[in-house]
Amino acid sequence: MTAPIRLALVGIGKIARDQHVPAIAANPDITLVACVSRSGETVDDLPSVPDLAALAASGIDVDAVALCTPPQVRYSAAAEAIANGWHVFLEKPPGATLAEVAALADAADAAGISLFASWHSRYAPGVAPARDWLAARTIGRVTITWREDVRVWHPGQAWIWEAGGFGVFDPGINALSIATHILPCPFLIERAVLDFPANRDAPIAARVDFRDTAGAPVAMDLDWRQEGPQSWDIVVETDQGTLRLAKGGAELTFPDGSTPMSHEGLHGEYPGLYARFAEIVQAGTSDVDVAPLRHVADAFLRGRRVTVEAFDE
C-alpha cells in the first residue's frame, strides 16, 4: 500500500483524543476518515458511526482501524475488523487473554491482514538507548517501581476494576513492556502477591518477583494508591554500574550520571507507534509481541490474592 492508510478510530475516549488523534494528524502515511463511538463522539466533524457493522455499511473507504476500547471487548472488535479486511492497531493490552491475541494473530495471518499489538512505552525516548547499552552488560539486579494515583489517571473508569480490566496491571504492563524489551535475558515469575480491594475484581497493588534466565532477580512493585509524586522507574544494576529509567522511560541516566535525554509525558510515543503501524501495513507484515501480557497472566496464575480495604473514588 503506497497511498495514505485510511483509518477509523474506534472508541473516542481520553487516550484517543490526547494521543491517537494528534499522532495520526502528524503522520503523512495515515489519514483519519471516521470515528466509531456508541455515544456519537467524533473528531474534527468526521463521520461517526455506532459500531463496526455500521462502518462497513456506511460506504466510507477504510483500510484500517485503531481499537481504543477496553480490553474485555477488544477481541470481538478486532475479529470483526479482520473479517472486513481492515488492518488492526490494538491499544495496549492487545486483548483480555493470551488465547484471544493468538486467535487474532492466526486470523490476521490467514487473511493477509496486518495486526499490531502496540506497546507505547517502548517508544519512550530513553528505551532504545537503554536497550543498546544493556546488551553488552551482565545484569545483577532489576527493580521496577510503578506507583501512581488511580484517581488521577483513571477517574470514573469502572471497566478497569472489572474482571479482565487488569487493575493495577494496566499501567504495570507498560513497565513490563519496557523490561521485556531492554533486558538481554528473558525473565520468569517466581512469586507474586496481589492486593484486591474488598469491593473490586481487579488488584490495586502487586508485588511480583521474577528471575532472569541468567539468575538475576527482577522485583516489581505496583501500587495505585500513590499520592504526591508519581513513580515510573526501572533501575538496572550491572557489572558496569547502574542504569536508571525514570518517568516511564522518558528520562535515562547512565552510571556516570549523564542524562542524554529527559522529556515529560508521552513524548514521541504515539507518533512512534503510528510510524511502526504504517511500516508494517506497507510491508504486509504483523507485529504481535505478547511477552508483557504473558507476564501479567503469569502473575495472576502464580499470585497469592490478599483482600484489602475497599476502594471508592
Active site residues: 92
To the nearest 10°, report the CA torsion of 55, 59, 63, 64: -10
Question: Cα–Cα distances in Å, from 196 out to 88, 93, 164, 300?
Answer: 33, 20, 13, 12
At position 181, the amino acid (one-letter code) is: H
CA distance 168 to 225: 10
DSSP annotation of 228 reads: S
Angle at CA of residue 17, ends 12 and 20, nearest 5°: 95
CA distance 104 to 283: 19
Three-state DSSP at 278 gives helix
Spatial contact of 226 and 148, defined as CB atoms under 8 Å apart: yes
